[in-house]
């Protein structure tokens, strides 16, 4: 069985850590996995991470001083993680940990990258208010216009994804700001993407980190990626229905 590393950037998410770890462990009971937090917090989050990591040997964390930014935090996590498969998710529980097992199963079925989507049948962005939906949709459309490599993917600006570690071995990633998945999609060598439906949830605790600076960083990132994205990837996108996803997960669990 391939080992999975879940990389989670944190910034002042002390109230979510314990619940997040418990839900991940419950979802991945039959999968060899580790959880790797990269923390830029200014509150008590590092103390919570220290306590959790001392109690659970598969939980690791790095606390950065004087540095912040989701994308660079995730990249550090990718470099530090030990898994054959790497996943990225947010700490606020808007990305439900229960989707990690179906994501893992898609890679076991041959996908290079799995992207849970809010925008395919069975998915929902119901956790977003109208303003967040507008911002998310605008960012998604800008990305698709500027980067042809994103156009076949329904939800390319999400922060929730999983992939085979080897696809980034030669990737020229120079992430800024908050969007790491477009960096992986644009600079990595891969061919098969599987999308599965999921429901974006309401924030459990803490505050959204989206602001005008993050918007400007995203636009700058898209402009920069125009110069260096991999142009010869032949991308095939396979969309799993809710029924197919359940069927494949059940088959996986019955055969391990």
pLDDT value at 204 more than 80: no
Rounded distance between C-alpha atoms, residue 153 and residue 193, angstroms: 8
pLDDT at res. 30: 95
Q: Which two tokens stand for residue 181?
A: 């998945």
113 has which bridge partners? 163, 193
Task: For residue range 89-138, list pLDDT tens digits in order.
Answer: 999 999 999 999 999 999 999 999 999 999 999 999 876 677 777 888 88
110: closest CA among 192, 46, 12, 203?
Answer: 192
Percentage of the chain modeled with pLDDT above 90: 81
Q: What does the pLDDT look like over 148-160, one tens digit per residue?
A: 999 999 999 889 9
Q: Which residue has the higher pLDDT, 215 or 219?
A: 219
> What confidence tens digit (pLDDT) does each residue in 23-72 have?
999 999 999 999 999 999 999 999 999 999 999 999 999 999 988 889 99
Is the CB of residue 173 less than 8 Å from the CB of residue 72? no
* Interval 156-176: pLDDT, tens: 988 999 999 999 999 999 988
Q: Give the ranges where the chain is alpha helix by DSSP (H).
A: 17-27, 45-55, 70-80, 100-108, 130-146, 181-187, 212-225, 242-254
State the Cα angle at 5 between 28 and 11, rounded to 5°. Answer: 100
∠ CA 146-150-153, nearest 5°, is 145
Q: Read off the tokens for 236.
A: 């095939």
The tokens for 137 are 């949709």
- For the chain, what is the radius of gyration of the CA atoms? 17
């Amino acid at each position: 069985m391939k080992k999975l590393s879940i990389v989670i950037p944190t910034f002042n998410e002390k109230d979510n850590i314990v619940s997040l770890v418990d839900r991940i462990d419950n979802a991945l009971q039959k999968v060899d996995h580790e959880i790797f937090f990269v923390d830029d917090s200014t509150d008590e989050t590092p103390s919570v991470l220290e306590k959790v990591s001392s109690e659970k040997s598969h939980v690791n964390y790095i606390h950065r001083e004087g540095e912040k930014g989701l994308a660079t935090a995730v990249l550090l996590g990718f470099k530090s993680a030990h898994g054959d498969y790497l996943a990225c998710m947010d700490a606020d529980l808007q990305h439900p940990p229960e989707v990690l097992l179906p994501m893992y199963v898609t890679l076991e079925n041959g996908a290079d990258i799995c992207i849970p989507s809010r925008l395919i049948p069975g998915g929902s962005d119901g956790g977003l208010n109208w303003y967040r939906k507008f911002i998310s949709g605008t960012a998604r459309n800008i990305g698709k216009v500027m980067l042809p490599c994103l156009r076949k993917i329904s939800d390319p600006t999400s922060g929730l994804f999983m992939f085979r570690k080897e696809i980034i071995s030669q990737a020229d990633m120079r992430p800024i700001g908050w969007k790491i998945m477009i960096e992986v999609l644009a600079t990595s060598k891969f061919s098969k993407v599987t999308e599965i439906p999921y429901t974006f949830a309401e924030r459990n605790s803490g505050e959204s980190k989206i602001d005008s600076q993050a918007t400007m960083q995203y636009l700058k990132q898209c402009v920069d990626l125009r110069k260096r994205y991999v142009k010869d990837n032949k991308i095939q996108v396979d969309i799993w229905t809710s029924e197919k996803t359940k069927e494949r997960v059940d088959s996986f669990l019955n055969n391990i």
